[in-house]
Structure 1
Amino acid sequence: MPNVVVLAGDGIGPEVCASAVEVLRAVAPDVELEHHLLGGGAYDQTGSPFPDATRQAVLACDAVLLGTVGGAQNSPWNSLPRPLRPESGLLQLRMALGVYANLRPVKVMPGLEGFSPLREDLARQVDVLIVRELLGGAYFDPRRAIEGDQAYNTIGYSKAEVDRVARVAFDAARTRKHEVTSVDKANVLEVSELWRGVVQDLRDREYPEVKLEHEYVDSVAMLLVKTPGRYDVIVTENLFGDILSDLAAVIPGSLGVMPSASLGDGPGLYEPIHGSAPDIAGKGVANPTGTILSVAMLLRHSLGRDTEARRIEDAVQGALEHVRTPDLGGQGTTQELGAAVLARL
């Protein structure tokens, strides 16, 4: 029997997770659910943002559903030493799970084109999956320092690190349009030369049916806005992926509708991309769509239940035709939108 650990977290996390859990129970009643602590609330109760009980639970489960972590800028949590802050709990969670590939689907749902900053004809074309390497590159390379009036960071990747995230992208492309764009800066960076070579070799050996293009990151940043419909699956390293995925995040018109998955060789981690939004926490107006769609990704990638995932995605699309939370110009509540999704299931 599959086991899913739910980490509701802080801010609006408990509210959006509650709606998502109801949807998960509706389509997969056999899944066992465990609820554990993470983030600021975990620190308040246990003295750690990532308690040992949570660590043990996530390492023994099949998948993790996460809400949000963190508080307002003036939160007492922000005056804690960095290892004790809520965001440190999230980083420790990702490291414990060993998730090395972040998947962020970007799509403008029918009827929501008017909320996108792009022209409506361009917004309708958008259906891209950004696969970002999560555990390497400049963010994690230990070769860094501030020395007097100079500082440096290092972008380093091994062939194995590139190969494993590229496989995730190619496997995803096989379920989509069979097109991958590998993003680098190989005209000036040696690490990008290695990246490009590894991705090309993998495609030639094991994924000959997938069309592969190599593009520079500055060009992709421009074309994601100018002609976004040209992309199917984008795969790139940590720093470039961080920037491109945040650029693409504004395209659907609200962060509240966007899910994400972080995958490795063990349990997957699924969460909405929005923050904890402490200013609206407890008001019942948070958009649960991103968390509900994260459940769909959980079912697809960790439990192999694509049919149930598609049911959720279709139900969300239908629900948004009638109920919208304030971030989408409506007056619906978190519970009302969640109930509308359930009704369509």
Structure 2
Amino acid sequence: MNKTYKICVLPGDGIGPEIMGEAIKVLNVISEQTGVSFSYDFGRIGGCAIDEDGTPLPEETLRLAKEADAVLLGAVGGPKWDQNPGNLRPEAGLLGIRKALGLYANLRPATMHPSLVEASSLKPEVVAGVDLIVVRELTGGIYFGEKKRYTSEDGQEVAEDLLIYQEKEIERIIRTSFEVARKRSKNLVSVDKANVLESSRLWRKVAERVAADYPDVTLSHQLVDSCAMQLVRAPKQFDVIVTENMFGDILSDEAAMLTGSIGMLASASLGEGSIGLYEPVHGSAPDIAGRGVANPLATILSVAMMLRHSLGMDEAAEAVEKAVWAVLDAGYRTGDLTEDRSQALGTVEMGQKVIEQLQKQVVGQ
């Protein structure tokens, strides 16, 4: 009997539905080639859910996600909802589903493919050969701490955001990063702000303690401002970076741009359970939504991560990645990857090129 996997699909806002359409086409080809079936349950999250359901994370969406084998998400957000209170902003849906599914580890690889070296804003000799991964803690820190807005006695408006981490939250993400590093070059950089923040001092203490269990991995520490500088100056020194929620949010986007476009970067959000959430690193790009020009490759590469990490289909994941690289090697580009926009492919055209390459391969499970 053929295996069937249930995928919760959350297209979201902006370009989300466009790029998600291409990702599902790729999954359908994988299904044809492997005999594995995928069933899709579509749900709403973010701004579209606010408009339709009055909340950025409807209970029905959570139900679909918890019953799925994996969650595939497009993007959330847009200026339409910028003035909403915090609990009615699209991003609250994203934070909420991560928390509800216990997805505490976000893996964001940034790899410079040789054919895209010229697309980077940095010198080729700086970015050629970059191959790193940012492991970001995803369910703690300042994003989830208590938030307050009030007026002080002298009439000034005051805002407070609490940055809080428990030792166990730090330990589990540190252990995850050591496991990732152990499978790569065994070089782990832990990023914090220990010269200023007490939470970072605890982070560093826990990292040092956990390191004793991984004598084969070299651990070093770097302050977040120094890391941001070094990512631009000499990014090839990094292999695996682990850091807390807000620092990881910022540094992973910086790392993404090393590769030429944030439209190329996939991510996986994993936890203690079997359900993972997969999404492109880029946002909803409302300025180009509906124009059919968005780069679908980050979402397609997120599909590859889903096949590998949640569904155990390593050969299929590799086939998807090979198809993407073959398309790029052949010189095809979306608008974000080339200065000559007249030659750029649209969303559907680029997706079709990947499918054509995928269909040339013999794909196993």
TM-score, scaled relative to structure 2: 0.87
Say if 2:87 is the partner of 1:83: yes
8 Å CA contact retained: 2:5, 2:38: yes
SS, match of residue 2 in structure 1: strand
- 342, 347, 354: which one pairs with 1:334? 347
- C-alpha separation between the residues in 2 aligned to 1:31 and 1:167? 32
Aligned partner letter, 2:255: A
The answer (yes or no) to whether the contact 1:23–1:342 under 8 Å persists in 2 is: yes
1:254 corresponds to which residue?
Answer: 261
Deviations 1:167-187 (A, max 9, x none): 221222232212111112233
Does residue 135 of structure 1 match 2:135?
no
Deviations 1:38-63 (A, max 9, x none): 22323333333322211101011121
Contact 2:45 2:61 in 1 (8 A): yes
Matched, 1:217 2:220: no
Q: Tell me how large the CA RMSD over aligned residues is.
A: 2.1
1:296: how far off?
1.1
**Are the counterparts in 2 of residues 320 and 337 from structure 1 also a CA contact under 8 Å?**
no
Q: Which deviations, in whole Å up to 9, do the C-alpha atoms of 1:104-150 show, x marking residues without a partner? A: 11122121111212110111131110111122222322286656256
Tell me whether 1:24 sits opposite 2:27 in the alignment. Answer: yes
The aligned amino acid for 2:270 is: L
Aligned to 2:249: 242
| Partner Cα separation in structure 2 for residue 27 and residue 208 of structure 1 | 40
Alpha-carbon distance, 1:81 to partner: 4.3
Asked if 1:343 corresponds to 2:356, the answer is: yes
Percent identity over the alignment?
Answer: 50
Structure 2 counterpart of 1:327, one-letter code: D
Secondary structure of the residue aligned to 1:49 is coil
Give the conservation status (yes or no) of the 8 Å contact 2:98–2:138.
Answer: no
8 Å Cα contact 1:110/1:317 also seen in 2:
no
Amino acid in the other structure paired with 2:10 = L
1:37 equivalenced with 2:44 (yes/no): yes
Q: In structure 2, what is the Cα distance between the partners aligned to 1:133 and 1:87? A: 17
Aligned residue in 2 for 1:55: 62
Q: Classify 1:159/1:88 alpha carbon distance in 2 versus 1 (closer, same or farther; 3 Å).
A: closer
Q: Unaligned stretches of 5+ in structure 1?
A: none
- Secondary structure of the 1:45 match is helix
1:92 aligns with 2:96: yes
Instruction: Name the CA distance, whole Å, in 1 between partners of 2:64 and 2:357.
Output: 32
Cα shift readout 1:259-315 (whole Å, capped 9, x = no counterpart): 112222232111111122222222221100110011111122222222222221111
* Corresponding residue of 2:361: none
Tell me the amino acid that sits aligned with residue 339 of structure 1. Q
The Cα of 1:229 is off from its aligned counterpart by: 0.5
CA distance in 2, matches of 1:319, 1:215: 37
Q: Which residue of 2 aligns with 1:290?
A: 298
Question: Structure 2 CA distance, aligned partners of 1:89 and 1:337?
Answer: 29
Question: Which residue identity lines up with residue 87 of structure 1 in the other structure?
Answer: E
- Worse overlay, 28-37 or 282-291: 28-37
- Contact 2:188–2:242 (Cα < 8 Å) also in 1: yes
- Select 1:268's aligned residue among 272, 276, 295: 276
In the TM superposition, residue 80 of structure 1 has moved relative to its aligned partner by 4.4
Number of positions where the alignment pairs a residue of Structure 1 with one of Structure 2: 341
- Structure 1 segments of 4+ aligned residues over 6 angstroms from their partners: none
Q: Distance in 1 between matches of 2:202 and 2:90?
A: 36
With 161-170 and 320-329 compared, the bigger mean Cα shift is at 320-329
1:310 is aligned to 318
Return the alpha-carbon distance in structure 2 between the equivalents of residues 304 and 60 of structure 1.
Answer: 18
- 2:182 pairs with 1:169: no
**Alignment pair present for 1:325 and 2:334:** yes
Q: Which amino acid aligns with 1:102?
A: N
Maintained 8 Å contact 1:145/1:153: no
In the alignment, residue 189 of structure 2 is paired with which amino acid?
T
The reply on whether 1:6 has 2:14 as its aligned counterpart is no
Contact 2:111 2:131 in 1 (8 A): yes
How big is the shift at 1:85?
A: 3.4
State the SS of the aligned residue for 2:329: coil
Q: Is the CA contact (8 Å cut-off) linking 2:268 and 2:305 kept in structure 1?
A: yes
For normalisation by structure 1, the TM-score amounts to 0.91
SS in structure 1 at match of 2:45: coil
The residue that corresponds to 1:194 in the other structure is 202
Residue 233 of structure 1 deviates from its aligned partner by: 0.5
Query: Is the partner of 1:250 in helix, strand or coil?
Result: helix
